[in-house]
Amino acid sequence: MAQDYDDMDAIAMLKADHRKVEEIFAQFEKASGKDRKRKLAEQACLELKVHTIIEEIFYPACRRVVETDMLNEAYVEHDAAKLMINDIEAGGPDEAFYDAKVKVLSEMIMHHVEEEEKRSEGLFSLARAAGLDMDDLAERMRARKKSAMAQLQGHPEIPAETHVFHGEDNAFALAEAPMGRRGGGMEMQEAR
C-alpha cells in the first residue's frame, strides 16, 4: 500500500482495515493446520474487534448525515459479528463448527463492508459527500486504535463489547459525542 496508515484520513484507515481482514480470511481459507487456523482466526478477530471500536468513533459522526436506518443496521451488524467473534475466540479449531463459524463471520463482514464502501450510496461515500472532518476523525481513531491494540493484542479472552442488544440500544445509538469510557457513565448528546 502506497500510503502510510499514519497519514490516512478516516475513510482510508477504515478501508485499509477492511483489506487487511479480507486478506486474513483468504489465508484462513487456504490454511490447513490447526495452529495456523487458530492463529489466523484470532488475528482476524483482533483486527475486527479493534476496527469496530474505532469505527464506532466514526459512526456517531455520521448520525447527522446518513439515514438512521442505515446507521442502525450497521451497529446491529457490528454486534452480530462481535457475538460470533467472541464465540470463535472462546473456542478453537478442535470444534466441529470452528471453520464454519469463521466462514460465516467472513461472509457477515463481506456484506457489511460492501454496505460501507458502496459507491455513492454507501456509508463512507455519504459521509465524505457531507463534508465530515476526516482528518480530525482519523486522529481520534488512530489514538483509540493504539490503545485498543495495546489492550487486546494477545488477549483473545477479552470479549468484544456489544452495544445494541438486550435493550442497551437507544442511548448508545443516539450518542453523537465521541465514545467515552464505557461503563463509566458515557456522556450523551441528543442527535438533532
Which residues lie near Fe ion (CB under 5 A)? Answer: 55
Q: What minimum distance in Å lies between the beta carbon of 59 and Fe ion?
A: 8
Grid cell 451497529 is found at 75
Nearer to Fe ion, 55 or 79 (CB): 55
Nearer to Fe ion, 22 or 99 (CB): 22
66 Cβ contact list (under 8 Å, min separation 6): 123, 126, 127, 130
Q: What minimum distance in Å lies between the beta carbon of 86 and Fe ion?
A: 17
Nearer to Fe ion, 9 or 55 (CB): 55
Q: Taking CB positions, which residue lies at the least distance from Fe ion? A: 55
Neighbours of 79 (CB within 10 A): 20
Closest C-alpha among 29, 61, 58 to residue 142: 58
Q: What minimum distance in Å lies between the beta carbon of 18 and Fe ion?
A: 6
Q: What minimum distance in Å lies between the beta carbon of 92 and Fe ion?
A: 26
Nearer to Fe ion, 15 or 103 (CB): 15
Closest C-alpha among 3, 2, 5, 1 to residue 145: 5
Grid cell 488475528 is found at 43
Q: Which helix (H) or strand (E) holds 179?
A: none
Neighbours of 68 (CB within 10 A): 11
